[in-house]
Structure 1
Amino acid sequence: MKADPKAEAAAAPKASPKKLILIIILAVLTLAVGGAATWYFTLGAKGGADVAQKKEKAQPGEPPVYVPIEKFVVNLQPEEGEQYLQIQFTLQVPTLEEVEVLKANMPKVQSRVLLLLSAKKASELSTPEGKQQLSSELIASINAPFVDKGEPQEVTDVLYTSFIIQ
């Protein structure tokens, strides 16, 4: 007896397990290459370089750098007559490059600090919590980019060296 030609035709398209595995591996590799190309062209060429620069800038073993800020004397918001704040502090930054950015933009730093301090009341600043809150606000204000859509600064701490309310 001869085999049925229809049965042979139906059996022929079955792929062997080796071919099936090969097809799956090729599909995964194609997806991986496509994903890598997408990442490179959207983030890698531009964003990857930024990340590498940030890693170069902030080496974990390097000590922080300090930027002393000149003394400020400002009128505080009135509560019980006129009150003044005399304050001096130092900014902590991770790199020398950050020091140069701050020094080059010191008028903007001073203006931001002056505006922030002159909006405060003595009662807000007299407690340790108030001073910590002021530190957070100073960091946020100074870290704002100096130019539209620019890079933010990297001030990490405010260290008070003089703090007098009169």
Structure 2
Amino acid sequence: MKANPKAKADPKADAAAAPAGSKKKLMIAALAAVLLLGGGGGAAWFFMQGGDAAAEDTPKASKKKKKASNVKPHYVPVEAFTVNLQPENGEQYLQVQFTLQVDGPEQATLIKDNMAIVRNRVLLLLSGKKASEISTVEGKQQLAAEIQAIVQEPFAKGGDEQDVTDVLFTSFIIQ
């Protein structure tokens, strides 16, 4: 018998060919997914380990930045201040408490040993402020930057600056 070109192919042969093609596609998709996830995991690991290793090796990287990345921050609480503010609408007072964030235990000890100087500088700064200057979020941020700047000034003439990295308000009341 001659094969009839118009006759349909054997359905059993088609059924066997379909799973083989599906398995191949499934294997390719699984392999692509594994490679994609592996690449993503590798990238995540790279960035979690410090990211740009080349930038750390360049001589232009600042000494302070390298130092800060290796030192665990320490916190030095400063006792509460109550000061008269500059008059605007009658007498107003500020009661504020904050913590200084510094680089390392040596800086924390230096700040603690010179707390009288720190408190004097901050008291003089605060007593020159008006309530309207420090009542907004921006005003508080500006005040924190000013406190940081005056505490960083050397305690002794010709001495090194302190490494104060942040001023964190823990209480802030204007009356």
Calculate the TM-score normalised by the size of structure 1: 0.65
Determine if the alignment matches structure 1 residue 116 to structure 2 residue 128. Answer: no
Matches within 5 A, 1:1-166: 58=67, 60-166=69-175
Alpha-carbon RMSD? 1.9
Aligned-partner SS, 1:163: strand
Aligned-partner SS, 2:143: helix
Moved over 6 A (4+): none
Query: Could you list the runs of 5+ residues in structure 2 that have no partner in the other structure?
Result: 1-61
Q: Summarize deviations over 1:15-61 as a string: whole Å, max 9, x none.
A: xxxxxxxxxxxxxxxxxxxxxxxxxxxxxxxxxxxx98x799x3524
> Residues 145 and 164 from structure 1, CA distance in 2 versus in 1: closer, same or farther, beyond 3 angstroms?
same
Q: Summarize deviations over 1:89-112 as a string: whole Å, max 9, x none.
A: 000001000011001111000000
Query: Could you list the runs of 5+ residues in structure 1 that have no partner in the other structure?
Result: 1-50
User: Considering only CA atoms, is the larger Rg found in Structure 1 or Structure 2?
Assistant: 2
Cα distance, 1:62 vs structure 2: 3.8
Aligned length: 114
Calculate the TM-score normalised by the size of structure 2: 0.61
Report the identity percentage.
Answer: 60
Q: Summarize deviations over 1:108-131 as a string: whole Å, max 9, x none.
A: 000000000000000000000000
